[in-house]
Amino acid sequence: MVGYQAYTIPGAPMSPTLEPGDRIVVRRADGAEVHRGDLVIVDSGAFDQPSHEGISVFRVGAVAGDTVACRTGAIFVGGDNRGNSDDSRFQGPARLSGVTGFVVATGTVVTPKPLPAVTAFTDAGLPGAPLTDSTLGTLKWWILGGFVLFAAGLIGLIVTVVRNAGRRRRAAAIPPVH
């Protein structure tokens, strides 16, 4: 819906930030710049040595040019639950083209709960702030407004049909004048 998609977290690699079964709202990447601290959806085919198929949620720990030896156009990602995360430590860096979206909230598109911004990297003096999404908060109001307009239109249609039906019945009950 307008560049956002809902997912359910299948495993525990991002625990305690995201627990298994949590619903998340993901904004499509659309070529946006990836920063340290961002929570991203990564297609497994983007890793140098993928260990499974599908997509996973990880936190960006390093970007191209960092000391972790990421090649240009790649990122190093990790799970918040280091003991249970099959991340870049095992699969290698991931290509930027494999980042399909940014996790911007938990919940649903209509009832999002924004995730707190991670500032550990910028607090340590590293450049680049994690993505913040201001559109999602206003999107729910646009959705609510659209629903209200739809409901008002539907009620207006029903009222019009009922009125016209009543007029037709009354007109049919009056005999024609010759």
Q: Render pLDDT for 50-98 as a digit per residue (tens, 0 to 9).
A: 888 888 899 888 887 777 655 568 888 988 888 888 889 899 889 888 9
Question: What confidence score (pLDDT) does residue 148 get?
Answer: 93
User: Which of 124, 126, 128, 131 lies closest to 104, judged by CA?
Assistant: 131
SS3 147: helix
pTM, two decimals, is 0.64
pLDDT digits (tens, 9 = 90+) for 113-150: 888 777 777 788 777 766 777 677 677 778 788 899 99
- Would you put residue 125 in left (φ > 0), alpha (ψ -120 to 50) or beta? left
Which pLDDT band, with edges at 50, 70 and 90, does 15 fall under?
Answer: confident
